[in-house]
Structure 1
Amino acid sequence: MAPQPLIPQSQLVFSAELAAAVGLPEAVLLQQIKGLYLHQPATRRDGLPWLHVSRAYLMQLLPFWSEEELQAVCDSLESLGLLNIDRKTAAKDSILLAINETPVVRAVPAPQIAPVVPPAATTTAVKAAPDQAVNTKVTVTAASSPAPRPGKREGQPLPPDFQPSEDMLELLERFHGVPRGFALQQIEDFTLYWRERGNAGHAWQNRFKQHVQFQWARQQQEATGTDHAGQRGTGTARRTRDSSLESDLTDTSWAE
């Protein structure tokens, strides 16, 4: 097997502001698609520039995602109105898509429901006062309730049999220097933490990656601190790192 270069040939570039607004995976994919417009011809339709993109080429650009994870990020961007996907006319093994930089949220009109007078109430009122008009108050709850947001993906709890994918383990070891054995040792703590919280979410593979990277960095820092155990302030620094564990593990706004 040929040795891997220290510095990769290509690097991912994305906007920090965009990642904070729509999520880190969504910002990465959107930025990559934006770059494709510089090298591939687009077809104007319905006021949008449409591109035919090979699925294999997208997987080559983003090798750290599985096909299921890539599709989930595409669905997320589509639900946000930032990406249009044409599934009817797309060629085989490719995606026909268009970036929508000015998404418009269309209001869903409330259904028109004609008031219906219950038969029993009508009969009673007529018998009691045959010469008077019957006043019937009808409350339509469907029209007063706000329409649900279309296309919103609901998060799922962590699967009870969660295991990191082979691609994720390889990515952690190859690009982040985390040994495979160390990553596997974190599964128990990771699953125990999220099962106790009971939170629903998306992209559990990426959350596991974030958890392993944090624990690995923490171990390296503690190993360095052991060599300087006699210096003042070591205990305070360690307590500071420990107190940040909760906030780092729960900072999952990028995957919401």
Structure 2
Amino acid sequence: MQVEDIMRTNKADAFIKNITENRVRSQVKFPAEEDLSGAAAAILRLQDVYRLDTADLSNGVIMGDKVGRAAYNDRDYYHTLTWMQVALNRLENEDPKTVGEDEVLEYLAFSLYQQGNIRRALALTKRLAAIAPNHPRAKGNVKWYEDMLDGKDMEGDLPPIINKRVENDGIVERDAYEALCRGEAPKIPPEEERKLYCYLKMDKPFLRLGPIKVEILRFEPLAVLFKEVLSEYEAEVIKATATPKVGC
């Protein structure tokens, strides 16, 4: 009987009450906009490094419009375009809607414009003006895009979307480290590979008693692998000591 009572007890009410009381006393802080922006930036970085598909990512609990908005606020129109496009596609199948279509259309249209897709930006802005006649910027943006096109290329099928990622973000080695994170080590020319070798490091007196095994992996840039520096026991001690401090 006691087990049944415990199983039927609604623990959610007590949990919510606990959070609410601590919230009032400022002991519990809910995620703020800056937390979302930081999380979204991390998602976008992981997406770039591991070449994850936007549609695949959005099939989880991640809402495309929120990630897209964070990218927009960071003036990252490459990611704004991909995430808002996915958000728009999902919105068409949502009931009830989790975000306004007019909001997604405005973000998507502007990011299309920023990426050089003026005709597509115009088409979406006309759609925005149709569903939201009182939108404060839609009609003005329609005229703005039409003036930029000046009657050129306004007929016929829409051209393919251009969405180039800005490469000059201040990280010269970005392509290299992203490839390494994916496990894609750059190939070494055969003539350089023949020069690679292994040796025993004994340049210190104490190393003569226990030399370290070293393997040269490449020369430019220099990359070496130290082997059997730690025993399995020592490695386990380090992991056991570090685990509580990283919250695992």
TM-score, with structure 1 as normaliser? 0.21
Between Structure 1 and Structure 2, the one with more helix by share is: 2
Which structure ranks higher in relative contact order (CA pairs < 8 Å, sequence separation ≥ 6)?
A: 1
